[in-house]
Chain A
Amino acid sequence: MTSRHIYNGLLLLTRRLPVCFSFIVLLAAVPRADAGFIGAYSFDNFNLFNTNANGFASLNLDGSLAITGGNDGSGIPGMTDFSLIAPTSGIVSFNYAYASLDFPGYDFAGYFADNFTFLANSDGGSGSATFLATVGQQFSFRVSTLDNTGEPGVLTISNFNGPSATGGDVPEPSTMLSLALGLAVLAARRRRADRR
């Protein structure tokens, strides 16, 4: 289905239905996402796994998630995973920032879904990422260290969005505003078309 088809469909819908009813229908039709570490994606639903490491995870005051890698002094490689079983299928998106005081190349961070995707190493870095999660699939945020010394790296995840696990979830206000604006544009075009 092309975007043109979607547009024509919405245009037809706005011709046949009152705008306000259209708005409600569209709300029901738009796929919902859980924003932040809430609901099915709450901090407590994640599990911490340390493999030859002593990393940990914490929730910052701004709602972002911080995963700190291992620094147990063992001199051997290790990794810290903060994992969740995907409650439903859909797009997972987030912003990330990585910082480390260690020398370059001695720790790095990424996420693991079907396989590991590198995000940043101890030089630091930030950005955004998305991946498609399948219901029942385990995905994790990971910080790895080559030798558990030299101070750990910290991966901070913010602006997290995951597919909603239930229908009752309410989209975030920014999403609603976008929908409203889109509908208003469609309604205005409909009126012009009717006048012609």
Chain B
Amino acid sequence: MPADLLPRVASGEPRAAEELMDRYGALIWSLARRHSRRSADAEDAVQEIFLALWKNADRFDASRASEPTFITMIARRRLIDLHRHKQRRPPTEGHEADLETLTDLRSGDIEVKAEAKLASRALGTLKPREREVVLLSTYQGMSHSEIANHVDMPLGTVKTYIRRGLMRVREALEQPKQAAEGAT
């Protein structure tokens, strides 16, 4: 398993930044493309995400999350902020996923960490409708009201499903850490 790069980035090692681009550039590009309306917007987003990574590298805590998950979190923060600033939501055209057949994927570039698998497994315990709502929110980047319109569901129900889904994933991610702490 390759060593984490963010601690070296945090220490100011320029070579580590190059390696970070090599290791996670495709992931960040994929996230940006899926969450952006136009290619130009995606490119701007990628630059802003990497800048946020350089600035927040020292916040990475391997005991709380894997490096890919932390980087995805930072990327999502920037993408959500950019979308709110532009006051429009990203379309799904061109990147629309058939949620019926969406399966967890293993990247050819990076290893999908254990917690991504835990997340996928936790979502699998939800009812199909709940899982769909959670994926429309997190994966497709739709707002809660957009989802409510899209699936013809009360907004309150959408919020409840998303909260339930995230809490289930959150609990699934916490369990290995709690088990490790109990063992020490």
**Real complex partners, A and B?**
no
